[in-house]
A = this chain, B = another copy of it.
Amino acid sequence: MDTQVRDETGEGTPRWGERQTAVLEAALSLLVEGGERALTTAGLARRANCSKESIYKWFDDRDGLLAAMVAFQAGKVRAPSAGERPMGREAFRGNLVTFAHDLLDVLAGEVSLAMNRLAIGTASREDARLGRLVLERGRRLIGIRAGALIEAGRSQGFIAYENRDDAFRTLYGLIVQDMHVRLLLGETLGADERDFARRASKAVDRFMHLYGSDAARGQTEETEGN
- List chain A positions with a Cβ less than 8 A from chain B: 32-38, 110, 114, 116-128, 131-132, 134-135, 139, 166, 169-170, 172-182, 184-187, 192, 197-198, 201-202, 205-206, 209-210, 220, 222-223, 226
Contact = CB atoms under 8 A, between A and B. Distances in A.
Contacts of A182: 135, 139
Contact of A131 (B134, B169, B179, B186): B186
A100 B132 CA distance: 27
Contacts of A226: 197-198, 201-202
Contact of A124 (B34, B170, B177): B34
A119 B185 contact: yes
Describe A's contact surface by its main secondary structure. helix
B187 A122 contact: no
Contact of A173 (B33, B122, B178, B185): B178
B34 A184 contact: no
Contacts of A187: 128, 131-132, 135
A197 B226 CA distance: 8
A173 to B, nearest CB: 4
